[in-house]
Amino acid sequence: MSFIRPEVATLLHRWRGVLLGAAVALLGLWWVTSSTGLLGWIGWPVLAAGLALAFTGLQRLRFVTGRGGPGVVSITEGQVAYFGPLTGGVVALSELDRLEIDHSGQPAHWRLHQPGQPMLAIPLTAENAEALFDIFAALPGLSTERLLSQMRPQGAHIAVIWHRDAPPARLTLPR
């Protein structure tokens, strides 16, 4: 027997990263403001870790665009597999050389390219597609902000998000 309605449980599960980060940040802030000595000093890194967790949770939240799409994504030992009603395939992450997003289909698709293999198209709304965030974020030189901004529909087009030979992304601060 659950005391939480299913809709509320789903919403809390979706926002869990942000809520956990906010709770850790509040604990760190409390230690900084109310404690003296060692606990007050430990509060600063705890506060910073909480803010980082909340920021990462917000990025994950932006990555999930919907549910109920066709097919299932599976990630096992460095391989991304997609099993769909009409297509499917497997891409080794160590061999991945280009990541694109295709907004011309309904729903939009990730397009993963591996040399010598057919392109793997994964709908953004496929089951377990949110697990791709960690995989994509680990690609060398990938700009997470570019990835998230390209996910917003901007008409029917294909955008290259990352390719292996691209120069690494640099963070520039305004002056």
Q: Taking a C-beta distance cutoff of 8 angstroms, is the pair 101, 136 a contact?
A: no
Beta carbons within 8 Å of 30's beta carbon, 6+ residues apart = 43
What per-residue confidence (pLDDT) applies to 166? Answer: 57
Closest by CA position to 96, among listed 75, 77, 129, 119: 119
Answer yes or no: pTM beyond 0.85. no
Contacts of 136-142 with CB under 8 Å at 24 or more apart are 136/99, 136/161, 136/162, 138/93, 139/96, 139/99, 140/168, 141/166, 141/167, 141/168, 141/169, 142/99, 142/169
What per-residue confidence (pLDDT) applies to 43? Answer: 93
What per-residue confidence (pLDDT) applies to 51? Answer: 95
Buried b (16+ CB within 10 A) or exposed e, 6-41: eeeeeeeebeebbeebbebbeebbebbeeeeeeeee
What per-residue confidence (pLDDT) applies to 131? Answer: 86
What per-residue confidence (pLDDT) applies to 52? Answer: 93
Mean pLDDT of each 10-residue bin along the chain, 175 residues long: 80 86 95 90 94 89 77 90 89 91 86 92 89 87 84 82 71 57
